[in-house]
Amino acid sequence: MSEEKKVRNSVKLILLNENNELLLMSTDDKGIQGKEGNYNGRFWQMVGGKIEEGETLKEAAYRELFEETGLRKEQVEVQDPAWYGEVDLMMHGKLTRVKQSFVPARTSSTNVSLENLTEEEKPVCTRLEWFSLDRIRNCPDIIYPVLLTDPRYLPAILQGDIPNKTIPIDLTKQPEKKTQEKQTEKDDEWER
């Protein structure tokens, strides 16, 4: 009999500053792998994480926001979810169905910090940076979700076109191989 899949409900913040730049966090967690156990290397992702038992989606968004950026609730306007997707991953050895809601958020503060990370996050979350849409499109690094620059997603949000009901986003899409080769070169540069 096969092992039952865990479920992890999570929230990601589409956090934009006044320059329409998206905040991304560099993560290098070998404990998070594709469902076949493949590890694609360091990647960028939106801030956010697991919705704890008893938390609402927005409560989790504000908690994760503080832990991963240092920003407080009064510094950020969080909206209702714009996108939703699911993906199966191996998370620390357990097959897990990750269910992610993506919420648009705005801040006038660009001063962010990793000082409030949990003990579990400290070794794997290494940097925060603001990315323009062009920088995301031209970035040699892996950025999840891969479909972020599709016109239905981040470009629409940047133009103020926030869906009035949540739209699906395919989280199973993986980066092209050439991106992974460039990523390895970039990892080598960071280690020098």
Confidence at 37, pLDDT banded by 50, 70, 90: confident
Round to whole Å and give the CA distance between 149 and 170: 12
Per-residue pLDDT at 186: 52
Closest Cα to residue 130, out of 22, 53, 44?
22
Q: Which tokens sit at 164?
A: 């009035």
Contacts of 126 (CB under 8 A, 6+ apart): 26, 27, 28, 42, 114
Average pLDDT over residues 16-29: 97
Q: CA of 148: how far to CAs of 54, 72, 111, 144, in Å?
A: 30, 25, 24, 7
Contacts of 4 (CB under 8 A, 6+ apart): none
Which of 25-34, 55-64, 122-131, 171-180 is the least confident region?
Answer: 171-180
- Is 90 exceeded by the pLDDT of residue 179? no
Torsion on CA atoms 57, 58, 62, 68, rounded to nearest 10: 40
Q: Which tokens sit at 117?
A: 């990370």
In this structure, the strands spanning 22-27 and 43-46 are: antiparallel
What is the DSSP track for 41-68?
A: -SEEEESEEE--TT--HHHHHHHHHHHH
Average pLDDT over residues 63-68: 98
Per-residue pLDDT at 2: 54
Average pLDDT over residues 152-168: 97
How do residues 78-91 score in pLDDT, each as one tens digit? 999 999 999 999 99
How do residues 106-149 score in pLDDT, each as one tens digit? 999 999 999 999 999 999 999 999 999 999 999 999 999 999 99
Per-residue pLDDT at 175: 87
* Domains, the chain: 6-191 (3.90.79.10)
Average pLDDT over residues 9-21: 98
Taking the CA of residue 132 as centre, how many other CA atoms within 13 Å lie in the half-sphere pointing to its CB?
4
Per-residue pLDDT at 1: 42
Average pLDDT over residues 167-184: 74
Q: What angle do CA 159, 137, 102 make, to 5 degrees?
A: 55
Mean pLDDT in the chain? 91
How do residues 88-107 score in pLDDT, each as one tens digit? 999 999 999 999 999 999 99
